Amino acid sequence: MKSPDIAALEAAVGHSFAHHDLLQQALTHSSYAREMESARSAPEGHVGDNEQLEFLGDAVLGLITTEELFRRFPMFREGQLSKLRAHLVSERHLIRVAQELQVGHFLRLGRGEEKSGGRNKPALLVDALEAVLAAIYLDGGWEPAQRLVRDRIITPELDRVVHHGSLPVTDNKSALQERMQALGRPQPVYLLVKEQGPEHSKTFTVEVRLPSAENGGPPEFVGRAEGLTKKNAEQEAAGQVLEYLRVAQPSEGRGKRPAGSN
């Protein structure tokens, strides 16, 4: 008979298991398995833990996340997609999901791990979450695994990023401003050139135009990028201008000669 605890976890992840031994293994930490083995006699000494399931779950999570981002953001470049994926599968994000699902409550831990606060350890909880995902995949196939990743890991976080622009990015804008000051050149111009998509899930296209050394001339270089927020798009485009300046700096240095020199 299914325990009330397991039924609660199944409800939380949105999947009812046909093979409960898979879920049990996903929730079994190696410390518990080794303790149980030491209490048994051979040949029945082996107790499965969740390490192999965690390995599979990590791969399933990566593929589902990649496919979902590829489908949702067809105009994004590889670098933008990679940044989003890295954030969505990071321990920093997954620990929040594991806590929301109360994964720690269901774990089977050895006595030592229990005493040391294993139910609240980020690495342990994230590993267990990925193991549960693998168990769902093995038990029910791609669809329920995809549903868990989409509904509990990807969509809520993308909504948060879209509304608050909180995805960590490198501060390319500040670095570009400092570089232009050091070169004695005018600051670049940031322009929002396009907004696309529904109000709750827009993408923004921004250009960063590097002024020409000749007054009134066309821009020397234009960085162009898309992002879930204007801020992120500006940062990405500013990074392109920085890279251009890094490559072009030697020729710029030769061109900036003092007045009256030969």
Residues catalogued as catalytic: 58, 130
How far lies 98's CA from each of 44, 59, 112, 182, 250, in Å? 32, 17, 22, 47, 50
C-alpha–C-alpha distance, residues 188 and 198, integer Å: 30
Q: What would the two tokens of residue 230 be?
A: 């204007």
C-alpha–C-alpha distance, residues 107 and 49, integer Å: 11
Residues 224, 236 contacting (CB under 8 angstroms): no
C-alpha–C-alpha distance, residues 140 and 128, integer Å: 18
**DSSP result, 120-144:** G-HHHHHHHHHHHHHHHHHHH-HHH
C-alpha–C-alpha distance, residues 225 and 176, integer Å: 15
Residues 197, 178 contacting (CB under 8 angstroms): no
C-alpha–C-alpha distance, residues 213 and 215, integer Å: 6
Closest-CA residue to 155 (of 242, 233, 229, 93): 93
